[in-house]
Amino acid sequence: MKKVVIVATGGTIAMKKDKSGKSIPAVSGEELLDSVPGIREIADFEVVNFSNFASCNMKPENLLKLANKVKDIFINKDISGIIITHGTDTIEDSAFFLELTILDSRPIIFTAAQRDASEFDSDGPRNIRNAARIAVDERAKNRGVMVSLNEKIFSALYVNKKHTSNVETFSSGDMGIIGYADIDRLLFYNSQKSKFKFDIPDNFPTVIPILAYTGMDSSIVEFCINNGAKGIVIEAFGRGNVPPELEDGIIMAIERQIPVVITSRCHSGRVLPVYSYKGGSSRLKDFGCIFSEGISTAKSRLLLGLALTKTNSCSKIQKIFNSIIS
């Protein structure tokens, strides 16, 4: 029988209601496995209890540890795949980080739940079962890091939580799903993988995401510059446009060798230098801003952080962003 490692990190999937009826961490990795009838007929499992917290705690230091843990597990060539149970809130960040740092053809599947383990119809057990099916399937190799919930299989590159509570919460927008775990068999449609990989660094540089809003000035950017930011991500409007008063802060950051990445608050599409009014995306490009190529703000923050471990040249970092997708 194939061997699969389940790395439990926490999230609602591993929570139960306390006396006041609110969800708190409660379930170990072993208990998660035991909640899935028949799962031991799919594979031999080894459990790693990495953490048991809500995913708002998954800070960069934890991501570095998680990536190193996955790398260590894969030293054993008998392991067919790894399942990582995680909170839905930041699962897309962690999956993306591993996609950028793990070079191995074997499947890594993140899964989670919207309904905790004390709900009579928790979605956790079914999601774990489907993740196990993916982990032992030869066709799941070479598809990059995946996120699977509610039967759907997504690439780490584009997946995004869309609904705060519904079990049908994840979407990859225009990019779509890469597979589907139907009841009779798994279907794989395509794969979406990063073309660029990083070594796992020892430290993660401070990168601050900033939300653009109408009427804002440059003071938040100046605050970041003066408080140790090594990189800044600005979630702009539409094609990558910001309030005119933000230009001064952006110019100041770039002059101080702090790269600025422009993302969009739109869920699909790329930012592109097409407007040349003050604050327009074309001017930001001329100042030296990096355009995110459709990578979300949360993920751009991680990608910029990893890129900064190699260079702080804006043109080189732009090439890295371009090469993720091209």
**By the criterion CB under 6 A, which residues form the site for ligand ASP?**
11-12, 54-55, 87-89, 112, 114
Q: Is 28 helix (H, G, I), strand (E, B) or coil?
A: coil
Please, what's the b/e burial string for 100-110 (b: 16 or more CB within 10 A of its CB; e: otherwise)?
bbbebebbbbb
Do you know the residue count of the chain? 326
CB 291 within 8 A of CB 272: yes
Specify the residue for token string 């996955």: 70
Decide whether 124 or 209 has the Cβ nearer to ligand ASP. 124
Report the nearest approach of ligand ASP to the CB of residue 154 (Å).
Answer: 15
Is the Cβ of residue 88 or residue 297 nearer to ligand ASP in the bound state? 88
Nearest approach, Cβ of residue 118 and ligand ASP (Å): 14
Rounded Cα gap, residues 189 and 234, in angstroms: 33
Compute the C-alpha angle 189/193/199, nearest 5°: 155
Cβ distance to ligand ASP smaller for residue 22 or 185? 22
Amino acid at 162: K
Tokens 């905790």 belong to which residue? 116
* Residue 152 or 285 with smaller CB distance to ligand ASP: 152
Which position's Cβ is nearest ligand ASP? 87
- The C-alpha atoms of residue 246 and residue 260 are separated, in whole angstroms, by 12
Shortest Cβ distance from residue 317 to ligand ASP (Å)? 29
Cβ distance to ligand ASP smaller for residue 102 or 113: 113
Smallest distance, Å, CB 196 to ligand ASP? 27
Q: Closest distance between ligand ASP and the C-beta of residue 265, in Å?
A: 21
